[in-house]
Amino acid sequence: MSFQHLIKKDVVQPSRLFPVKVEWFSNLIESIQQKLWQYSQYRSILQDLGKGRSVQDYSLDSSSQLLLFKYRVVVPNNSTIQLIILPKRHDSPLAGHPVQEKTLKPVKQDFHWSGMTQSIKDYVSSCQQCSSNKNIHHKKLGLLKPLLITSRPLICLFMDSIAQLPLSNSFD
């Protein structure tokens, strides 16, 4: 049985596809290339790789000249560069404001920087849209009950008590 009649002839084959250069990504590449040389740890690795020496887990991308760590782009510890990457992987309509773990996964697939988990955690926890859209995971608060109206003052006293407050210099 042949399935050749089901295959469309006008389908673009993967060999004919080419990468589309996105402006923010080309700006990101330029920023990373400039900033990496400012860090001594990366400068020495870049110099060694440029001389043809091998450095464990590091390589140099031949087309973009970006430093790679285990085939992921090395990003210097620079918050401005990280703040270019994180909104594209968290805030964009395609990303959909995922939680910390789901933001970390695609970023970790393509990029590497020290303290990545913490910086993503900080970024996601400070996201205004995420905090406003967050589901409430506690019981609904009780209904407020009206105060009784008395005929004379001080007939009825009420006290609000909050449990588990710290002691405050013997003024409890």
The 10s digit of each residue's pLDDT in 101-137 is 888 998 899 899 999 999 999 998 888 888 787 777 7
What pLDDT shows up at residue 171? Answer: 67
- DSSP three-state, residue 64: coil
**Which has more pLDDT, 35 or 23?**
35
HSE of 40, CA atoms in CB hemisphere, 13 A: 0
Q: Where are the domains of the chain?
A: 20-128
For the domain made up of 20-128, give the CATH fold. Endonuclease III; domain 1 (1.10.340)
Q: What is the pLDDT of residues 7-21, one digit of tens each?
A: 444 444 444 444 544
Q: What are phi and psi of 133, to 5 degrees?
A: -95, 0
Specify burial of residue 32 (Cβ count, 10 A radius: 0-12, 13-18, 19+). buried
Query: For the CA atoms of the chain, what is the radius of gyration?
Result: 28
DSSP class per residue in 53-102: --BTTEEE-TTT--EEETTEEE--S-HHHHHHHHHHHHTSTTT----HHH
